[in-house]
Structure 1
Amino acid sequence: MGKGSFRTAPAAFEPFSFCVWSDSQGFCRENPSNRHEPTNSMMKHMGASDANFAVTTGDLAEDGADYKDTRQFFLDRVAKYLGTQKPFFIAWGNHDSYGNSILRKFSDNPSKNREGFGPGNGAFAFSYAQCRFICLDYSSMYSDIDSWLEGELQSPESKNARHRFLFVHVPPYCEIWVDGDALLRKTLVPLMEKYGVEACFSGHTHAYERGFLNNVHYIITGGGSWLDHGETVVKEWPHSIVGGKTPVGSYELGLVNEYVRIIVDEEGWRGECVAFNPDGSEVGVIDTFHNDKP
C-alpha cells in the first residue's frame, strides 16, 4: 500500500486483526521526564502494526470540551501517531464531554447514519469481514441500550456475524477503584448473553483486567496514560481472571500501560495484551486469551 492509501472493509470473511485501547487522556505520571510516554509510543506501535483498524473505548482528553486538552492529548497524540496510519472508531467516554464538544468535532463515526445523531455522538455499529462491532457512547449509553441496542443485535448484520464485539467505556464488572456499573449489569449484560456478544471491551479504570462469564469475555484496557496507583480492590468478582486481586504477570492490580490486540482467523479469535514500560519501550505480550475459553 502506498503512502496515504486506504482500503474499504471486506464484505466476505478474511483473517484480520484490530487493536483496542482506552483512557489515553492525560499525562503519564509514571514518566516525569516525558509525560507523553509511553502513550505516544503505544500509538506509534499500533500504527506500525499489521492491524487493520483500532477501536478506543474513550476518554481521549482530560476535558473534551477544552481545546488545549484536545490538542495535546488527542490531535498531537492519537490522531498524529495512530490516526495517520490506521482508521479508528470511538466509543466515547465520560471525559470526552457531551454533544458538540470540541473533541467530538474531530470524529466521523458511523453514528452519523442514525437519525437524530451525528458523527461525534451516539451509539453505532459496523461490520468488518463478517464480524459485527458495536460501540456505545457514555453520554447516551443507557438510553441507547433501552431503545436501540436490542434492535441492532437482532439485525441480520449482527445475527449472521461470525463474531460480535461490544465496546462501552464503563465496565459492567471491575475490581479496583469501582466494582463496575450496576445498571449495565442489569440491562447490558443480559442482552450480550442473549445475543451472543463474545467480548465486551471497556476502560474507565486505568488498569488492565480480564474476566469470563457466561461465554462473554470482559476486558478492561484502561492503561492508555496515567495509571490508578493508590486505588485498591473494592470487589472480588468470582469470574475475574487477571487484574484486580490477581496480578498480570509482575503487575500488581493490573497497573500497566497496555493495549489489546485481537487476531481473527478461520479458527476463531484470540487476544493479546501488549505492555509497555514508562519510557515507551515495549515489554511484549503479558496476557493471552481465546474466544472459546478464558
Structure 2
Amino acid sequence: MEKFSSFARSSMLIFLFLISLVYVQAAERGPYLSNVTQHAITIAWRVKKPGISIVEFRKVNTNRWSRITLESTKLEQSVRLTGFLPNTSYEYQIDTFDENKKLCFQGKGIFKTAVKSGMPFNFIAYGDNRTGYEIHRRLVEHMLGEEDIRFIINTGDLVNSGYDMRSWDEFFEITKPLLNHIPFYPCPGNHEGDGKEYLKNFYLPGNERYYSFWYSDILFIALNTNEAFDDWSTQYKWFWRTLKNGLKKKPAYVVAFFHHPPFSDGPHGDTEEVKRYLVPLIERYKVVLVLSGHDHIYEHFLIGNTHYIVTGGGGAPLYRVNKTSRGIKAISAHHYIVFEYTGKTLRAIVKDVDGAIIDEFAIPRRSY
C-alpha cells in the first residue's frame, strides 16, 4: 500500500507538471493598446517564449512600412511608437521569433491616434467583469458594434484574483477583439490584489498605479483606492496638484475614475474614506463626472454639480439595489456606458447585455 501511495503521488506530480507545461505554452496575450496621444501609442503583447520581435507599422492606405526590432528576455513585451499625425489611422503587425528563430507569436491591428484639442470623440466605460466570462464576452460583442470608440476605461476588478494567471488569460482572450485596436485605461480594483500582475500587464502613463491623461480638451484622472489616499498621502497630494494644474488649461470637463464609489446604494454602500478625502477635492475643483465600480449594479447620482456613476456591471454576479435608492437611477443589470463628446456636451448612453438603452443623460460643457 505504501508503494502504491508513493507511486500515485509521483504520478500525480508528473501529471500536474505536464499540465502546467501545456498551460504555459498556451499563455500568449494580445496585442493590446494603451497610452495613446496625438503622436504616439503603446502596443503590448505576451509571448510563449522570449526572443526577437519585429514590429512594422504604416499609415493606412499607404505602401511604406516602418520597422522596429526588439530583443527581450521577458515574456511581456511592449513598444512605444511615435512620430504619428493626430486623428489618423495606422496599421501594425508583430512577429516574434524564439532563440531557434521559430515564429512563436503573430499579431496585428489598426489604431487611431488621438484627436486634436476640442474635437469630438467617443469612449466607453465599464467595470467588474471578473469571472463573468460569458456576460463579459457578450458586452464586448456589443462594444465592437459601437461607432468610432477611441478608448475604453475599466473601473477595476478585471479578474477575480490578481494572482490567478488563468483569470488574466481569460480577460485578454475575451477583450482581444477590442483591445487590439482600441486603447485601454484601467484602474485597479480590490480583486487585483497587490497589483504586481496588473502592473506587469498594463503600460499606463505616470507611475501607472494612478495617472492622468488628456484626450481632446478633457482631463481624465485615474486613482488607486487600494492604496493610501488620505490627506497626508502621496496619492492625495498628486491628485490635488493634477487638479490644480489641470484647471489652468481650462478643460471642457474633468473626469475621475477609481474602483470604490463614494456613493452607492448597493450592498457595499458608500465608501466613507473616499467621501472624507476625495470628494472635497472633487467638489472644490468641479470634477463633473466620477466613474466607479465595486457594487455590481448601475447607479447614477447627481450630487452638487457632479455626476457619480457606479458602473459595476461588466460580468460579475449582480447585486440587489436598495429600495430606498438616493440616486437618479439604480438598476441591477450588466451593462457598459458609451460617452459621446460633441465639443459642447458630454452625453452618456448606458446599454445592457442585450444592447438595450437603460439610461441616458447629458452634461453641459464647463464654463469659466
TM-score by length of 2: 0.65
3-state SS of 1:183 partner: helix
Match of 2:187 among 75, 84, 91: 91
3-state SS of 2:172 partner: helix
| Structure 2: tracts of 5 or more residues without a match | 1-88, 92-108
Cα shift at 1:157 = 6.2
Q: Is the 8 A contact 1:179 1:234 kept in 2?
A: no
Cα distance in 1 for residues equivalent to 2:188 and 2:204: 10
Cα shift at 1:227 = 2.9
Match of 2:341 among 264, 271, 292: 264
Return closer, same or farther for 1:188/1:213 CA change in 2, 3 Å cut-off: same
1:62 pairs with 2:62: no
Which deviates further from its counterpart, 17-26 or 150-159?
150-159
Q: Is the 8 A contact 1:123 1:141 kept in 2?
A: no
Cα distance in 2 for residues equivalent to 1:144 and 1:23: 26
Q: Which of 1 and 2 has greater Rg? A: 2
Name the structure with the higher strand share: 2
Cα distance in 2 for residues equivalent to 1:65 and 1:195: 37
In the comparison of the two structures, how many residue pairs are matched?
256
Cα distance in 1 for residues equivalent to 2:189 and 2:293: 8
3-state SS of 2:174 partner: helix
Partner of 2:135: 38
Return closer, same or farther for 1:164/1:158 CA change in 2, 3 Å cut-off: farther
Match of 1:125 among 212, 232, 245: 212
Q: Is the 8 A contact 1:172 1:181 kept in 2?
A: yes
Cα distance in 1 for residues equivalent to 2:199 and 2:324: 33
- C-alpha distance after superposition, 1:28-80 (max 9, x if no partner): xxxxxxxx3221121232234221111111111000121122112x22123x1
Cα distance in 1 for residues equivalent to 2:110 and 2:284: 39
> What is the RMSD computed on CA atoms of the aligned residues?
2.1
| Structure 1: tracts of 5 or more residues without a match | 28-35, 112-116, 244-253, 277-281
1:150 pairs with 2:240: yes
Return closer, same or farther for 1:218/1:161 CA change in 2, 3 Å cut-off: same
- C-alpha distance after superposition, 1:174-198 (max 9, x if no partner): 0010222111111111111111111
Q: Is the 8 A contact 2:115 2:121 kept in 1?
A: no
Partner of 1:291: 363
Partner of 1:279: none
Cα shift at 1:232 = 5.5
Task: Tell me which amino acid in the other structure corresponds to 1:94.
Answer: N
Partner of 2:31: none
Partner of 2:25: none
Task: Tell me which amino acid in the other structure corresponds to 2:341.
Answer: V
Return closer, same or farther for 1:87/1:232 CA change in 2, 3 Å cut-off: closer
Task: Tell me which amino acid in the other structure corresponds to 1:24.
Answer: N
Partner of 2:203: 108
Return closer, same or farther for 1:15/1:219 CA change in 2, 3 Å cut-off: same
Q: Report sequence identity in percent.
A: 27
- C-alpha distance after superposition, 1:156-180 (max 9, x if no partner): 4665211110001000000010222
Where in structure 2 are the equivalents of 1:1-294 lying within 5 Å?
A: 1=89, 3=91, 4-27=109-132, 36-49=133-146, 50-72=148-170, 74-78=171-175, 80-100=176-196, 102-111=197-206, 117=207, 119=208, 122-140=209-227, 142=229, 143-156=233-246, 159-229=249-319, 231=320, 233=322, 236-237=325-326, 240-243=327-330, 254-276=331-353, 282-292=354-364
Q: Is the 8 A contact 1:173 1:181 kept in 2?
A: yes
Cα distance in 2 for residues equivalent to 1:25 and 1:125: 24
Answer 1 or 2: higher relative contact order, Cα 8 Å, separation at least 6: 1
Q: Is the 8 A contact 1:133 1:165 kept in 2?
A: yes
